[in-house]
Structure 1
């Protein structure tokens, strides 16, 4: 059976993301991806940028969408989510957001939790938003926060052509969506004949079903990675992580793609 997987939506920042930018690299990995192309990439008009996201989603065909936004594109996505909710865009990776105070736009952005699950990636020396501000916005929006260290604005100029962690994030959410769809199908019609003898990547929905209730309330693998990296709690984090990965046995053939380690 073919599963209807979420598609990738690329949301660049000011002046677009050129061919050497990691967003362009990521888009090339997914043939069904779409890019939000602003009419004027040089003018940071928040409302117009947000509506451009909406019109792109509306015209691009069937979703749902995994949004990967960078810099001012993060602010536009946050405004879009405030205006339109999380029906079309269901997960978002927010990379190196620009500081809205630099544009006088903070009051126009959501001041509480965003309606979807998000992860915010920052650095300690981003010229467009300092680390403390990035953490404040992540907490305000209810986003998982991750700081990559002294890596600048996380763009081509700071050495990021490919960004493997973004690719792993996309793959993880697509694999999870496939597992959930498989579980829902088998719940509705029962497991297929021969499931017990199926090869890798099949016959795994029994594990998914057993873990489903617990799984709904667990954080994604990015949270496990953050716990694993903290001081004296590494052993406990590894134990928790093993439990998470075991509960996600439904990912089967995609198991090598589910570890958001970048």
Structure 2
């Protein structure tokens, strides 16, 4: 009987956090060569696909989710050649490889942000979200970071604030800028052309923010001791209608490479989460509510 399901519908996916999985050279940090050494074990377990948490160059302010270069491998984990060997050996065992993709923000050490921060006139200034201070000199609005405190950081040199919905070292990209979209789609092509079998996309539902930068309402039920991010309803920082256009563009790109998988991390109530399949099933294959 022919299996009517795609590999990502019926297979077992095993998430690997490379840093702690297997150290091949005794430096105390897991690496790509270590994963390679354990491929037979993973195959024996019945794993059909491995999903790698971020392996890109990073200052590690957020354990690799602050990316300084989207098209290379952090030396902690090895080299691009090590990655290609691991991918080839994974496929040789009839297993797939999924990469974590983090498009909402970069590291503040990414070359794009270094340029953006250089001056208000820099051609990459609008690649990130910069705003003038409020009338009182404070942040442009009341948006809060998922890590606590304001989501805005003041830049003394230029006199403006930049947005960071997570760590202060993770400035948010401006997905309303078509050049940002094309640059990030080129990143996806870079890895797809090397043969990766899909992406798990970090905080995909947050890539777009309200164009009017309106204040989020507070949650009246919030109380001290609750997580900082739960203080507000993310009405203007999450689940913006325009995000679906970006997701459809990503899906269309991925589909040109054959049977690949497109997973979106989406923390929303199930009725809202279901919208991310797309009306004609042209958005994510799998809207995931957890990264574990």
Q: TM-score range by the shorter chain?
A: 0.3 to 0.5
Calculate the TM-score normalised by the size of structure 1. 0.33
**Rg comparison, structure with higher value:** 2
Calculate the TM-score normalised by the size of structure 2. 0.31
The structure that is helix-richer by fraction is 1
